[in-house]
Chains A and B, each alone.
Chain A
């Protein structure tokens, strides 16, 4: 099924005359940057999920909140859909434009408004890059914890919209745990403040509700984030295993021993080989799996924990364990993992990255299922895994020039996500549903749950103008694509227990 917006199943959109809308915006906001020519709009036709592209009706690049307010009021009055976009690095098509909608580009809101070391917070505009916050806080020995792999480019507004994660989530939390306050404009152009400079705010926890809502409930115009003191030291251990099961057990044993590593990552053989070919990090290419376990904090505790983890790894049957000797080797160990995606990209003309999360105890089962599917579809799959929090990133290798290969890769990806749901997991841990996983939402949630989501949406955006077609599928879509089969007693992977 084509992933692009389909009014028949995703809901009707109003017909808007581009020239009329342009004229109204121009008149109401004379200094607003409006892109309308094809060559200007082209760079905005997709986000990080480049396989799907749509030219927006118009793209607007405001730089003041008042401009955003006017844009929203005009679009609300005319019933024009609005798709917000930050840095455009999202991997699930959350910022994929609509041909009949305005693309609201927040990238020019790029100022750090306040950095308060005593209060340990930074107040920033939504277009500020994730890494720029930590860089600005560095002189005070503080940093912003969530570190999605795109942190050099992705914006904090997008991080809030997606509830972005990273490799340190188990210990330091997701975006939702590190944002204190957001300023929001609703679709009707009304300003609301969610959260507070204090640690809590009265009323419903709308800050939590809006975090990860994928631009469906409001437009974030300012973000106050928590800053943490930088850990004094970080050391990383690398352990090799002759089976993925043994590596998975070692992860459970480390956590069972009462240790919360700063980072805990697993890679399987194909991913190890790809990374080693690319980075020469000294990875053991003969191993079936490796674990990278980073311990951070105060020096004395880290030293204690290294010994504890080493003992656990030996006990769990690690075939080799090495501690990065110095900062350079630590960086090298991580370089292999952090470049796993491009490394896999060298092995194959194209790859497709999945983002399911599972309870860790089902790792062997899900990896076995993935291997079976990989064989069935004739496509290789490399596994990279945020082992500490159960977030898997299977990378499906394919060649888009081969007819039907993309469709096969997507179908395989969909099956892997269904497998994650079947063991009690989720279709997306950190990349978001966006447009990419809209059909799999029908597998994870039943009709009543989806209706509940639509009710939440209606409270903030009655006419469904914010980012239509993303995140929550229409019931019509679920019925049409037949993904409801899970709820009709005809489940995939019937051998798996469900709860």
Chain B
């Protein structure tokens, strides 16, 4: 692999494209590998492909910080971290080979480890962004603690490219755990939910907990000693760690059934009364994957009653894939969009109609 040849700083090109879009008032549709183009509302605009702007800008394992250009393949970034025994701790889903760093941050999705270590935005330290005023700016940085100015970098995480074009992101990275073990415990859903609450109050080295309808899958990670002790304490049978990758990438059989797929995010101690449909419980109870033909409003009312929200992952199955916002909050969203992208050129309506 000859990275020197392929890696390139194409931020000038990207800036020129944005400036053209501004000059001609033409919306752009920002895209990396397009692996998450199903996510959010359909949007139109001139395709702005970030993939030529790629490469790792800096990485020092002893600083626990890496900076990569938006078009860098996520697989490449993770491979480089892996060589130094480090990782993106939030386990971002790829949903396809071409996933890029920029798309991963813009989508803001995190994998099975999220409740124990944090989400994408928790690990974002800084970014460079091309703005709706045609400027290429830098926010945050490559340090863990930084409270100068507003936290624009974390605002960008999960914003679906609606507030500007990310060109570069700095992340906090973590060492891979020395020891990792996957367990399967036979227990029903109700028992599992009770256990999640009990275990959550103890310093156990759990870093993933998913009930697949049949049994409970647990992952223990940490030092050899604590993993071994927890394994003895919890019981169960050793199982394949491949489960977590399949869960993250939605490759489990559960995901292949035909009904629309909903991601229901709820309070971890809630008992949401979700409509009829197959359910997969991840994040120790806080994230429910639901297969249902029930109307969006029904799913959302149940999610909201459990302190959360619901988002539809099947294109076309819900008019607004993302959970609609209360009116006042939506107004502030529109105001923020108008301030940062006054001509409305970045991924219009991708997140919500009118944004």
Contacts and interface: CB of A to CB of B under 8 A. Distances in A.
Given A117-B201, A203-B351, A255-B62, A428 B148 contact: yes
Nearest to A451: B133
B225 A304 contact: yes
22 contacts: A120-B200, A170-B144, A197-B307, A199-B115, A199-B268, A200-B108, A200-B119, A203-B329, A203-B330, A204-B159, A205-B108, A208-B121, A209-B150, A209-B155, A211-B151, A229-B200, A258-B85, A389-B143, A446-B137, A452-B135, A456-B150, A460-B332
A441 B226 CA distance: 45
Interface stretch (B96-104, B251-259, B335-343): B335-343
Given A119-B267, A120-B200, 16 more contacts: A140-B201, A141-B202, A173-B122, A193-B329, A197-B266, A199-B268, A202-B324, A205-B108, A255-B64, A260-B174, A297-B222, A358-B143, A424-B141, A429-B145, A449-B137, A456-B150
Interface string B132-152: 010101110111111111111
Contact of A426 (B146, B224, B332): B146
A209 B154 contact: yes
A191 B328 contact: yes
Contacts of A232: 203
Contact of B308 (A116, A169, A197, A217): A197
A117 B202 CA distance: 11
A300 B309 contact: no
Nearest to A296: B203
B133 A448 contact: yes
A213 B200 CA distance: 31
A118 B201 CA distance: 7
A118 B269 contact: yes
A499 B176 CA distance: 28
B265 A198 contact: yes
Given A433-B148, A441-B148, A448 B142 contact: no
Contacts of B339: 455-456, 458-459
A472 B338 CA distance: 20
A428 B150 CA distance: 12
Given A193-B329, A199-B287, A258 B309 contact: no
B131 interface: yes
A471 interface: yes
Given A173-B118, A304-B225, A198 B309 contact: yes
Given A426-B141, A452-B137, A359 B329 contact: no
A390 B328 contact: no
B225 A300 contact: yes
Contacts of B143: 357-359, 389-391, 424-426, 429
A118 B324 CA distance: 29
B223 interface: yes
Interface in B221-266: 222-226, 228-229, 265-266
Interface string A151-191: 00000000000110100011001101100000000100011
B175 A212 contact: no
B155 A298 contact: no
Given A201-B309, A206-B332, A459-B336, A361 B62 contact: yes
Nearest to A389: B144
Interface in A300-323: 300-301, 303-305
A205 B311 CA distance: 16
Interface residues of A, number: 98
B339 to A, nearest CB: 4
A397 interface: no
A219 interface: no
A432 interface: yes
Contacts of A457: 150
A426 B148 contact: yes
Nearest to A304: B223
A315 to B, nearest CB: 14
B286 interface: yes
A230 interface: yes
B283 A199 contact: yes
B280 interface: no
Identify the interface centre among B162, B270, B307: most chain A CB within 10 Å of its CB: B307
A427 interface: yes
B315 interface: no
B63 A360 contact: yes
A198 B307 contact: yes
B349 to A, nearest CB: 14
Given A186-B332, A300-B225, A200 B265 contact: yes
A445 to B, nearest CB: 6
Interface in B317-355: 322-326, 328-330, 332-333, 335-336, 338-340, 351-352
A32 interface: no
B219 interface: no
B211 interface: no
A120 B206 CA distance: 15
A360 B61 CA distance: 11
B205 interface: yes
A293 B306 CA distance: 41
Contacts of B139: 449, 452
A258 B268 CA distance: 30
Interface in A244-262: 252-253, 255-256, 258-260
Interface in B146-169: 146-152, 154-155, 157-159, 162-163
